[in-house]
A and B are shown apart, each in its own frame.
Chain A
Amino acid sequence: MRSKKKLRGWVIGYLFILPSIIGFSVFVAYPLLSSVYYSLTEWSGYDKPRFVGFANFNYMFNVDPAFWPSVRATFYFVLLSVPSSLILGLGLAMLLNRSLPGIKWFRTIFYLPTVVPSIATLTLWLFIYQPQYGLANSLLRMAGLPEGTWLTSEMTALPSIVLIGLWQVGAGMIIFLSGLQSVPQELYEAAEVDGAARWRVALNITIPMITPILFLQLILGIIGAFQAFNQVQVLTGGGPNFSTSLLNFKIYTDAFNGRMFGYAIAEVWVLFLIIMIFTAVTYRYSNRFVYYESDNSR
């Protein structure tokens, strides 16, 4: 009687999580495992995949003229966008943490750009960067400064894309802000009693206390930046001269325009490995600076 009831409980438990079990199996496990095989095939998506061993990887590393420029652009993008949005987000959050007249308005305004849908943002900035009538050059001309080349030159195209991301720094800012608000007040009060200067309080209390959030945002930021796609698809199409050809965009074009499914999946795996290595290295080094309140064993 008792074990029957227990069994019934187990069945009910599995029924509740069934949607995610199916979702995980069909949308995560199946594509992940099957793509290991597909990466070793030549496959257009129409015909049957034909096993070719490591030919895709050989082509990628040694022949494909667009591969290494794409890797370069992707790394450049990650190194430019992740630290800048972390620092700006944290800085803004610290400025917005203490009370000030109109503080709620400030918080709302800085968060506002992040609710604008991605494609609306990108099309808007496409017009902002338009050389002749766009906002960016109009402002520069008005200030008597030389015009910018923005998306049209190899040098400035990628930084211009990063700048759009900084317009939406509010997403990170709000997470840091709610982290700052959860720092125990006693710490600040103790520092005040000791007469500590404000910058010391920031350096020795605030920042250590939110390192777990900083760390999580760093990891998520890296994973997200490696997967950037919309910007390139809408703004530049990878140009000029591959300078904005991020890997995820190259994967998309190889798969759906070039109809090289097998090759694109091989590229997916390379990008995936790069992300894993980056994440693992970050994880390893962050152990030194991340402070966990509940963990005394470290």
Chain B
Amino acid sequence: MTAEQGIAAGPRKAKYTGLDAVRFVVLSAGAVAMLFPLLWMLTIALKSNNEVFAMPPEWFPKEMQWSNFVTGTKEINFWQTFGNSMFIAVTCTVGQVISSVLVGYGLGRLNFPGRRLWFSLFVGSLMLPGFVGMIPMFHLFTGLGWYDSWLPIIVPAFFGNPTFSFLFVQYLKTISVSFDEAAKIDGASDWYVLTKVLVPMAMPVIVTMVIFSFQGAWNQYLEPLIYIISPEKWTLSIAMASYKGTYATAWNLFMAADLIYILPMLLIFFFGQKFFMQGLGSVNSASLK
């Protein structure tokens, strides 16, 4: 399976049997169970607070309280926090994708002594549990005066992500080396070959990297939790985890804010669905080789 192939509709021409009917029922029930928590969240975000705590429970709001999205985000300085998260996520994404593409090109297309060794070291480091380095890194970063700043979160992103480099190396295998050679015969530098020849052809895998990188940065919790103290520097992950107590009596406001936290990921998912599937496909093909 190459990275270009997404997931096809199904391997064979449809000719449904009784077994397929059972399958349909099972999947429908599962789908309802999957959607239920999110729909519940949405209904609460649109309810008045009295309705949230009504007994017996009311499933649907009598009147949509759209104002929850305004009030819910006002009290906790939500939009500044949202901006912080967005800035961090975008910066980390830019750093990770650029550095990983550079490293991937070096590992996938260039020849130099030690290339194989470094490749296995980078890939091997993926197997190391992330928390092994947590405390020494904390000591190092605080020693640099980076405590209570975004630097411990942003700076490491610029030093390559082994998973992404690996994905890029795998993708480069599907592009013939003759493209590089032709350009080099015309006197092109490696920089030119990478940026003008290969990157345009590798756009699908790069978009995949952008999506996963953004998702990772938007979701991360442990690093901000360790390093960021001042509430005005918080990310949304920290803010939402902290305000769950503050909003113990105003679920509707909390759910409204939580939904806005989810929204960027939902948008990326719906517009970039193809790339989600593709990326996972290429992870797979890598594991099969």
Residue among B133, B190, B281 with the highest chain A CB neighbour number at 10 A: B133
Interchain CA distance A84-B20 in the complex, whole Å: 24
Interchain CA distance A118-B216 in the complex, whole Å: 10
Interchain CA distance A248-B130 in the complex, whole Å: 11
8 Å CB interface, A266-285 against B: 268, 271-272, 275, 279
Q: A19-B158, A127-B251 are in contact. Are A27 and B219 (CB under 8 A)?
A: no
* Residues of chain A with a CB closer than 8 A to B165's CB: 20
Within 8 Å of chain B (Cβ to Cβ): is A24?
yes
* Contact status A100-B158, CB under 8 Å: no
The residue from B130, B160, B237 contacting A23, defined by CB atoms under 8 A apart: B160
Within 8 Å of chain B (Cβ to Cβ): is A229?
yes
Interchain CA distance A106-B230 in the complex, whole Å: 43
Within 8 Å of chain A (Cβ to Cβ): is B145?
no
8 Å CB interface, A14-39 against B: 14-17, 19-24, 26-28, 30-32, 34-35, 38
* Residues of chain B with a CB closer than 8 A to A167's CB: 34, 37
8 Å CB interface, B37-88 against A: 37-38, 40-41, 44, 52-53, 56-57
The residue from B7, B129, B222, B281 contacting A272, defined by CB atoms under 8 A apart: B129
Interchain CA distance A43-B126 in the complex, whole Å: 28
Interchain CA distance A240-B135 in the complex, whole Å: 27
* Contact status B219-A17, CB under 8 Å: no
* Residues of chain B with a CB closer than 8 A to A116's CB: 38, 262, 265
Q: A116-B262, A178-B7, A178-B280 are in contact. Are A100 and B221 (CB under 8 A)?
A: no
Chain B min CB distance to A197 (Å): 11
Within 8 Å of chain B (Cβ to Cβ): is A160?
no
Q: A112-B34, A178-B281 are in contact. Are A22 and B262 (CB under 8 A)?
A: no
* Contact status A135-B36, CB under 8 Å: yes
Q: A181-B8, A261-B139 are in contact. Are A112 and B129 (CB under 8 A)?
A: no
Q: A99-B12, A115-B215, A174-B277 are in contact. Are A216 and B287 (CB under 8 A)?
A: yes
Interchain CA distance A78-B266 in the complex, whole Å: 29
Residue among A19, A99, A177, A182 with the highest chain B CB neighbour number at 10 A: A19
* Contact status B215-A24, CB under 8 Å: no
Q: For chain A, what secondary structure do more than half of its interface residues adopt (helix, strand, loop), or is it mixed?
A: helix
Within 8 Å of chain B (Cβ to Cβ): is A80?
no
* Contact status A103-B10, CB under 8 Å: yes
* Contact status B281-A22, CB under 8 Å: no
Within 8 Å of chain B (Cβ to Cβ): is A223?
yes
Interchain CA distance A154-B205 in the complex, whole Å: 45
Within 8 Å of chain B (Cβ to Cβ): is A151?
no
Interchain CA distance A107-B130 in the complex, whole Å: 31
Q: Which of A60-68, A69-77, A89-97 contacts B (4 or more CB under 8 A)?
A: A89-97
* Residues of chain A with a CB closer than 8 A to B9's CB: 99, 103-104
Chain A interface size, as a band, is: 35 or more
Within 8 Å of chain A (Cβ to Cβ): is B200?
no
Within 8 Å of chain B (Cβ to Cβ): is A98?
yes
* Contact status B287-A24, CB under 8 Å: no
* Residues of chain B with a CB closer than 8 A to A110's CB: 30-31, 34
Given known contacts A19-B103, A100-B20, A105-B31, what 20 new A-B pairs fall within 8 Å (CB)? Answer: A9-B111, A13-B112, A15-B106, A16-B190, A19-B102, A38-B136, A98-B11, A106-B31, A109-B31, A110-B31, A116-B38, A125-B37, A141-B56, A167-B34, A167-B37, A175-B280, A178-B284, A213-B287, A227-B131, A268-B132
Residues of chain B touching chain A, judged by Cβ–Cβ distance below 8 Å, are 1, 5, 7-14, 16, 19-20, 23-24, 26-27, 30-31, 34-38, 40-41, 44, 52-53, 56-57, 99, 102-103, 105-107, 110-113, 115, 118, 121-122, 125, 127-140, 142, 156, 158-160, 162, 165, 190, 215, 218-219, 221-222, 225-226, 236-237, 240-241, 244, 251, 254-255, 258, 261-262, 265-266, 268-269, 273, 276-277, 280-281, 283-285, 287-289
Residues of chain A touching chain B, judged by Cβ–Cβ distance below 8 Å, are 9-10, 12-17, 19-24, 26-28, 30-32, 34-35, 38, 45, 92, 95-101, 103-113, 115-120, 122-128, 133, 135, 138, 141-142, 167, 170, 174-175, 177-179, 181-182, 185, 188, 198, 212-213, 216, 223, 226-227, 229-230, 233-234, 248, 251-252, 255-256, 261, 264-265, 268, 271-272, 275, 279, 293-294
